Amino acid sequence: MTAIDYHAIKLLVLDVDGVMTDGGIILTDGGEQAKRFHVRDGAGMKYWRRAGGKLAMITGRGGQVIGRRAKELDVDAVRTDALDKLPAYLDVLKELGFSPEQTAVMGDDLPDLPLLQRCGLAIATADAAEEVRREAAFVTQAPGGHGAVREAIEWIMKKTGAWDGILARYRRPAGEAPR
């Protein structure tokens, strides 16, 4: 296995169902689709952006809820209804101007394998398919939809030292009394 250059990772590509959500899909009688997102994953994505990283979401499903969440989190590129994710991934790389070596991909199931095999850092959720976990350089302890994205972001940022910059914003200066 080649050594990973964590400092080279500038783009984080996320699957949605099973990574940003627990994989459950709620369909209402009215035909609406609902998904549950973890708030710490969203916070982690904002920290990633604050540190200069870019974000993309690629999913095999569609729906307005994905676009809404992407807009809330200022995601740079979104591809929905991508039944074959590889062309969508290559399109995102071209659009945002990144090479595969500058990209981390986080997935959980077989459609994510072509992306995980063509990136600088492959990440899987704890509950990912066995084949996906085997391909990953990092497997989260958290399952998808339960803080796995945040865990992966923290892990990358700690490897580069960028996490210290995020923490600095929230720490009290030495000697300052609690409020």
User: Which whole number is the average pLDDT over 141-155?
Assistant: 98
For the stretch 7-49, pLDDT in tens is: 999 999 999 999 999 999 888 898 888 899 999 999 999 999 9
For the stretch 74-133, pLDDT in tens is: 999 999 999 999 999 999 999 999 999 999 999 999 999 999 999 999 999 999 999 999
Q: Which CATH superfamily is domain 7-168 in?
A: HAD superfamily/HAD-like (3.40.50.1000)
pLDDT for 31 equals: 83
pLDDT for 179 equals: 60
pLDDT for 158 equals: 97
Conformation bin of residue 32: beta by default, left when phi > 0, alpha when psi is -120 to 50: beta
Checking if the pLDDT of 61 tops 60, the result is yes
Domain-by-domain residue ranges, the chain? 7-168
Nearest CA-CA partner of 108 in 65, 49, 58: 58
Where is average pLDDT lowest: 18-32, 44-58, 65-79, 139-153? 18-32
Per-residue confidence at 63, pLDDT binned at 50, 70, 90?
confident
